[in-house]
Amino acid sequence: MSIAITATEPLLGAEVDPRFGRARYLIIVDPETMDFDALENPAVAVGGGAGVATAQMIAGKGVAAVLTGNCGPNAYEVLSAAGIKVITGVSGKVRDAVAAYQAGTLTAAAQANVTEHFGMGSGRGRGRGRQ
C-alpha cells in the first residue's frame, strides 16, 4: 500500500508542498519500506483545472491516501470517488509526514479545506484589478 505526498522537491527530506493541484512534485512512497518514486507534476502551470488533473494522475497510481497541506473541492471529489483518503493540514518534511501517517496520528478530511482556485495566487495578473 502506497501513499502520495505533495512535495517542493523530489526528495524525502523535502518540505510538504501546501498546495495539492499545483504541488511541484508528488512523492509516491511505501510507508513500510520508504521506497519512493518522485513524480514531477505536469499540472503545476496549467491555467485551470490543476487540482482535477493532479487528482486524476494520482488516482491512476493506486495510492491509498494523499497527504498535503490543502486540497480544493474538485480535487477532493475526484480523489474521494477513487477511494483515496485525503489528509490535509500536513506540513514539515515529507519523511516526517510518512512517519505520522504510519503512527496513525493523521486524520482523513471529511471535505475540501480550501475553495476552488486557492493555489493560483493573487495579484493584478490576468486582467484582475485593472481599471
Q: Residue 54 corresponds to which cell in the numbers above?
A: 493532479
Which 3 state secondary structure label does DSSP give 107?
coil
What's the pLDDT tens digit per position in 83-111? 999 999 999 999 999 999 999 999 999 99
What backbone torsions phi and psi does residue 103 show, to the nearest 5 degrees? -75, -10
Cβ(72)–Cβ(20) under 8 Å? yes
What's the pLDDT tens digit per position in 64-89? 999 999 999 999 999 999 999 999 99
Among the residues of the chain, which ranges form H helices? 50-59, 73-81, 94-103
Domain boundaries, the chain: 2-120
Whole-model pTM: value is 0.86
**Residue positions counted in the chain:** 131
2-120 CATH choice from 3.40.190.10, 3.40.50.150, 3.30.420.130, 3.40.50.2000:
3.30.420.130
